[in-house]
Structure formats: structure tokens, C-alpha cells
Amino acid sequence: MTASPPARRVLLAAPRSYCAGVARAVTVVEQALKRFGAPIYVRHEIVHNKHVVKTLEQKGAIFVDEATEVPEGATVVFSAHGVAPTAHRQAADRFLTVIDATCPLVTKVHKEAVRFARDDYDILLIGHEGHEEVIGTSGEAPDHITVIDGPEDAATVEVRDPDKVAWLSQTTLSVDETMATVAVLKDRFPKLASPPSDDICYATQNRQSAVKQIGADADLVLVVGSANSSNSVRLVEVALEAGAGAAHLVDGAEQIDDGWLADVHTVGLTSGASVPDILVDEVLDWLAARGYREVVVVRSAEEHQHFALPRNLIAVPPLPQRKGSADRSETE
Ligand code: SF4
């Protein structure tokens, strides 16, 4: 008698999908549309996810690269990744109403940068050059901040005074890689000052520890997220480091290649912090249709974080519903 093949199953990571900062940023744009009316201008992608951006565009959001592209007097939302003070000045020059959807955990890093710069530290900001969050944080103290991307940069970066150096980091990095970079810095600068609390945010850390758990047992890990989402890209790397046979980043079920499932019994599934869970559900349906019906949730942490909406947003009452649109929804 031949043994039956092992059952196909999915290890579903938890937590996954929206973090509190992304949930708040998306709600800010939706509420701005309700309170100010369309169009609402949004500087940069509100969060790094194609599906979210497209859905908000359909509701009346217009995404721009700079506040200088927004018509004078209009309303602009700043994205979750944060902005440099120059963006606020550009908005003021154009008399824009600014609704700042910067994640409070990014704002915390900005404040740390300002504080260290005020004390005249050289600040080594661990992060990816060119990422919006890094541009925003660097803009708080451009004369004091140097961006370093990994242990190699840490080994060669030059500072004015080795006794007066501090490190900060982007919020969405790999925890392990960042600690390796910090170790090199501490070796070179024994008096290195650290941020008062972790800059890598709770959501990034929780999603990485969940994918570590599923990665160790999965033949294949699928990470739902967009290619420009730093925390999603990190999840692929962490899954592979944890021992996954293969790991792929997909925007949604339509990007999964059937060929990836050859000889795969256990699929690990997770998603970045900017991904709505509906996209994960679609992947679960796609997998179920191919025999992966058993779903085991692997939870690494509970999350109860919630951030209040910006005060200048909730101070504005929603616009009255137009008669035409009310009539239409009644007859649909
Ligand atoms: Fe905020 Fe972290 Fe979410 Fe970024 S990933 S928006 S820092 S909670």
C-alpha cells in the first residue's frame, strides 16, 4: 500500500496586514473626502500599496509628488511616512490646508532627530537612501544626519567627534539586520547614544516574528504587499532567513504562479502592514481552490494599538449628503 501524500495546508501569520498607522492614514483620506469633498490632494502614496491607492483615487483622491503641485487654497494630506519641514513650508506658501497623516511612530523618530541635533550629535540614520520616511526624517536635521544602509556603511562612515554620535533608524527595517549594523557602530563608537525606545515599530517587529515562525515550517511563503513597501520586502527576506524553501512578494492572488506550488505541502502566508486583509482572503481562496484548505493561524503577538485622527480633521463636520447621491443609493 502506498502512503498518502502529506496534507496541503496554509500557515497563516498573525498579526499581518494593516498596522495602526496605516489604518489611521487610510481613514484620514476617507474622512477628508467626506468632510472637505473631492478632490483631496495627497502628497505621495498615502501608504505603499497599489490597491489602497487605486481605491482612494476612485473615491476622489489625487496623488501628487510635491505640495507645489496642489492648487492654492486646496486641502492636502501628508502620507503616513512623514515629511521634511520643507514640505510644510511649501504647503504654507500655497495656503494649503494640511492634514498630516504621518504615523505617530514616525513623528517620534523625527523628534528624536531634532533632540540629538539640538545637542549637536552626529546622527547616523540606519535606513534605505531615497525611501520617503528616510527623506522626511533626514530633513529634520540635514546638517547632522548621515544615512547608513547596513553594516558595511557603519564600518566606514566618518563623524566629527567619535564621542558624540547617535543612531536612529527607519521604522520598517529588519530587526536582526539593524542590530548587526548597530553592533558595528558600537564597536567603533563605544559612547554611541541610542534612541530612548525602539525606532523599528511594534507592527514591523510583530510581523517579522510571525513570519519567522511560519518560515521555518513552510516550503513556500507568500507575502502580500507591493514592491515599494519596505516592511513587505523585509518579510520576504526574513522568511528566507528563517528557512522557507522559497518566498515571493505578490500584490495579490493574480500574481501567484501555479508553478511555485510544485511539491509544496505547506504554504506560509502573510502580508505587509500596508495591505488590506481582503487581499489576503483572496489568496486564501486561490490556495483553497488548489487543495490548500487547511488553514492554521500562527500568532506571534496580540495588537491593540490605535492612533487618534488629526485634530484639524475631526474639527470639520462631514458635508451634508447630496440629494442625488442619496436617491441613487436607494434605487440601487
Ligand atoms: Fe506606523 Fe509602523 Fe505602521 Fe509604519 S509600519 S505606519 S511606523 S505602525
The preferred substitution site among 46, 79, 106 for testing ligand 1, maximizing ligand atoms within 8 Å of CB, is 106
Q: Express each pLDDT in 273-321 by its tens digit.
A: 999 999 999 999 999 999 999 999 999 999 999 999 999 999 999 988 6
Residue 80, ligand 1, Cβ within 6 A:
yes
Q: Residue 191 pLDDT > 50, yes or no?
A: yes
Q: If we measure between CA atoms, which residue out of 147, 183, 184 comes closest to residue 168?
A: 147
Q: How confident is the model at residue 2 (pLDDT cuts 50, 70, 90)?
A: low
The pLDDT value given to residue 331: 31
Which whole number is the average pLDDT over 187-206? 96
Return d(Cα 129, Cα 213) in angstroms, integer: 30
Residue of the nearest CA to atom 8 in ligand 1? Answer: 21
Model's pTM, two decimal places?
Answer: 0.92
Atom of ligand 1 nearest to the CA of 231: 5
The pLDDT value given to residue 320: 87
pLDDT: which is higher, 161 or 325 = 161
Give yes or no for a contact between 270 and 16, defined as CB atoms under 8 angstroms apart.
yes
133 among known catalytic residues:
yes
Return d(Cα 182, Cα 212) in angstroms, integer: 21
How is 79-109 classified by DSSP, letter by letter? Answer: -TT---HHHHHHHHHTTPEEEE---HHHHHH
Residue 127, ligand 1, Cβ within 6 A:
no
The preferred substitution site among 16, 18, 102, 105 for testing ligand 1, maximizing ligand atoms within 8 Å of CB, is 105
